[in-house]
Amino acid sequence: MTRTVHCVKLGKTAEGLKMPPYPGPLGKRIFDNVSAEGWQLWLKHQTMLINEYRLTPFEPKARQFLEQEMEKFFFSGGADMPEGYVPPGR
């Protein structure tokens, strides 16, 4: 049986994640409140942030920044796009 959650990102009930995608309390909160589809939206956004800001994800400052952005993306009304960001194909 598939686990479902009411996804805070999509605003609808959808298939949940199979396991917490991130350690600690934030990972548990995401597991309980974000769908697999919502998590995929974050992964795309995170990739854009890493590329635009030229982050090295294993550096502590980069991880802290990405964690803050993840919190905003899901639970604080959405994350901002980098200044001057132009989506591909425009």
Instruction: Record the tokens describing residue 51, joined without a space.
Output: 């590329």
Tens of pLDDT, residue by residue, the chain (90 residues): 689 999 999 999 999 999 999 999 999 999 999 999 999 999 999 999 999 999 999 999 999 999 999 999 999 987 777 887 777 776
Residue from 4, 29, 25, 22 nearest 14 by CA: 4
CATH code at 4-75? 1.10.3880.10
- pTM for the full model? 0.89
Residue 90 has what pLDDT? 62
Q: How far is CA 51 from the centre of its chain?
A: 15
State the amino acid at position 39 in one-letter form.
W
DSSP-based three-state secondary structure for 77: coil
Instruction: Record the tokens describing residue 87, joined without a space.
Output: 């989506």
Residue 64 has what pLDDT? 96
